[in-house]
Amino acid sequence: MVLDKLGSSLKNTLSKIAKAVFVDEKLINELVKDIQRALLKSDVNVKLVFDLSKKIKERGLGEKPQTGITQKEHLIKIVYEELVKFLGEEGYKIEVKEKPFKIMLIGLFGSGKTTQAGKLGKFFKKKGYKVALVQTDTWRPAAYEQLKTLGEQTDIIVYGSKTLKDPVEIYREYEKELNKFDVVIIDTAGRDALSGDLIKEIEKINSAVKPSETLLVLSADIGQTAEKQAEAFHNSVGVTGLIISKMDGTAKGGGALAGASITHAPVKFIGVGEKIDDLEIFDPKRFVGRMLGMGDLESLLEKAREVVDEDTAEDMQRKLLKGEFNLVDLYEQMSAMRKMGPLSKIVDMIPGMGKMNLPKGALEGQEEKLKKWKFLMDSMTKEELENPDVISSERVERISKGSGCSVQEVRELLKQYRQSKKMVKMMKGQDPSKLMKKFKGKVPGM
Ligand SMILES: Nc1nc2c(ncn2[C@@H]2O[C@H](COP(=O)(O)OP(=O)(O)OP(=O)(O)O)[C@@H](O)[C@H]2O)c(=O)[nH]1
Ligand SMILES: [Mg+2]
């Protein structure tokens, strides 16, 4: 599938975010570099890559996450949103606005015009429209036959001529008849390269047909030349949308997709195979989701959270065994507990503590507390989070002001931290079952 590599490098990048302890400039720079590398490998133009990564960096450094999501999740959201925007944001809504609704397909030799014409015919017919296909290609000898075969498969009438040599003449011949149809799809000839001759011919057909939609068909494997083509066609007849064909056959395709940015015309359909049904409406959100191996932003974030959970659990175990503990750990421990239910996972991780009885209602009020803690921690510096012992009274004041929480609440958080740390220190290298007695089944902070 197209952009496979991009997808997997982005997936790696996202789990890198999920695993990181802090969202800081270093992480964002690393992330931006990863994305740049992945996009360039997928054939996306350097300038577009630069613009995209610049936006991600600016937003990553400048934006504060909305409440309810962490900084890491917000960063993933930014990457997702910018990729969707890069691909055109809105999915194509098919609006057959006038009768007949004329769709002209243009593009070079072998780009897939005739095949997509057949597919589009079926697409609109299935929606209940009365469809006709018109072949104006007088260059390829078998073009009319090819389209006719496609029409027969779907029971759609195909107009064309074996004798006429002028595409405009062919169109004029059937113009009146075409008024009886809801949707008319006009296939045109290509050339093996962009030429003045082709452009002139397309311009002539264009002014005779006056199409409602002019769709440029680009093959996914053409790489960065997509942009030049898109630009040339757009400047001559005005492209209203792109169809990227052969999305099933290449691991790149970034160049063709980026063609959309040049024409400012969205990718409206993608061809995903040679068969008549192998056409999909292009929906950037779904596409990015699929590329990253998940459905939409929500499931993406869900996935990120899972990675965080697994990682937190491992990290926590390591830290507990070493007797290390800082504020971030405390916060993550609390979040993990909330999600994992009644402490079970955390407790299970500590050998011998699995059977500890927790007081009823231990988790009540934790939700509110966590929210406050998150605000508080967002107002702390990296140094303070890693080594809370540096937090002086002045710093408490500052944190309180910055977070909108009271000084009392800051102190409470610090107190809980110290209690938890004490417990962790005592655990270091000790037999957990003896510890149980010491704490009498109570866990500080709960
Ligand atoms: N795998 C795959 N093959 C495709 C797709 N679309 C078209 N093709 C194949 O690409 C080749 C060229 O397709 P055509 O539809 O004949 O291309 P064209 O733009 O009409 O070419 P000219 O008429 O020569 O200008 C054919 O072998 C098609 O079967 C697609 O989405 N996926
Ligand atoms: Mg053709």
Q: What is the pLDDT of residue 172?
A: 97
Mean pLDDT of the 436-444 span: 48
Q: How far is the CA of 3 from the centre of ligand 1 (A)?
A: 20
- Percent over 70 (pLDDT), the chain: 74
The answer to whether the CB of 280 is under 6 A from ligand 1 is no
Ligand 1, atom 10: nearest CA belongs to which residue? 112
Quick one: CA dihedral 87, 88, 90, 91, positive or negative? negative
Give the number of the atom of ligand 1 that is nearest the alpha carbon of residue 272: 31
The answer to whether the CB of 22 is under 6 A from ligand 1 is no
Give the model's confidence band at 301: pLDDT under 50 very low, under 70 low, under 90 confident, else very high.
low
Mean pLDDT of the 243-260 span: 74
**pLDDT per residue as tens digits for the range 9-53:** 777 777 777 777 778 888 899 888 888 888 887 777 788 888 889
More confident residue, 327 or 339: 327
Quick one: CA dihedral 358, 364, 370, 372, positive or negative? negative
Give the model's confidence band at 200: pLDDT under 50 very low, under 70 low, under 90 confident, else very high.
very high
Mean pLDDT of the 208-222 span: 93
Give the model's confidence band at 351: pLDDT under 50 very low, under 70 low, under 90 confident, else very high.
very low
Mean pLDDT of the 424-437 span: 58
Strands 267-271 and 279-281: antiparallel
Give the model's confidence band at 427: pLDDT under 50 very low, under 70 low, under 90 confident, else very high.
low
**pLDDT per residue as tens digits for the range 95-138:** 899 999 999 999 999 999 999 999 999 999 999 999 999 999 99
Residue 41 CB neighbour total at 10 angstroms: 15
Q: What is the pLDDT of residue 363?
A: 47
105: β partners = 187, 215
Contacts of 198 (CB under 8 A, 6+ apart): 108, 189, 190, 191
Q: What is the pLDDT of residue 41?
A: 79
Q: Which residue has the tokens 């959970």?
A: 309
- Spatial contact of 37 and 9, defined as CB atoms under 8 Å apart: yes
- Spatial contact of 222 and 256, defined as CB atoms under 8 Å apart: yes
Mean pLDDT of the 193-218 span: 95
51: β partners = none
Of 50, 112, 122, 124, the C-alpha closest to 256 is 112
Q: What is the pLDDT of residue 428?
A: 62
- Specify the 3-state DSSP secondary structure of 219: strand
Give the model's confidence band at 350: pLDDT under 50 very low, under 70 low, under 90 confident, else very high.
very low
Checking if the pLDDT of 206 tops 80, the result is yes
Checking if the pLDDT of 1 tops 50, the result is no
The answer to whether the CB of 115 is under 6 A from ligand 1 is yes
Of 148, 72, 70, 137, the C-alpha closest to 105 is 137
The answer to whether the CB of 42 is under 6 A from ligand 1 is no
Mean pLDDT of the 202-216 span: 96
Cα–Cα distance, 442 to 446 (Å, whole number): 8
Q: What is the pLDDT of residue 81?
A: 87
Q: Which of 29-33, 124-128, 267-271, 329-333 has the lowest mean pLDDT?
A: 329-333
Strands 157-159 and 131-135: parallel
Q: Which of 19-28, 110-119, 165-174, 237-246 has the lowest mean pLDDT?
A: 19-28
Q: How far is the CA of 50 from the centre of ligand 2 (A)?
A: 36
Checking if the pLDDT of 252 tops 70, the result is no
Cα–Cα distance, 37 to 10 (Å, whole number): 10
Q: What is the pLDDT of residue 288?
A: 78
Q: What is the pLDDT of residue 445?
A: 43
Ligand nearest to the CA of 274: 1
76-82: long-range pairs with CB below 8 Å, 24+: 76/14, 76/17, 76/18, 76/300, 76/301, 76/304, 77/297, 77/301, 79/10, 79/13, 79/14, 79/31, 79/35, 80/288, 80/292, 80/297, 80/300, 81/297, 82/52, 82/55, 82/56
Give start and end residues of each alpha helix (H) in 238-326.
254-263, 284-291, 297-322
Cis peptide before 100 (omega within 30 of 0): yes
Q: What is the pLDDT of residue 316?
A: 64
Contacts of 185 (CB under 8 A, 6+ apart): 103, 105, 117, 120, 121, 124, 131, 132, 133, 134
Mean pLDDT of the 412-430 span: 76
Q: How far is the CA of 145 from the centre of ligand 1 (A)?
A: 14
Ligand nearest to the CA of 106: 1
Ligand 1, atom 25: nearest CA belongs to which residue? 109
- Spatial contact of 79 and 161, defined as CB atoms under 8 Å apart: no
Ligand 1, atom 24: nearest CA belongs to which residue? 109
- Spatial contact of 73 and 94, defined as CB atoms under 8 Å apart: no
Instruction: Record the pTM.
Output: 0.66
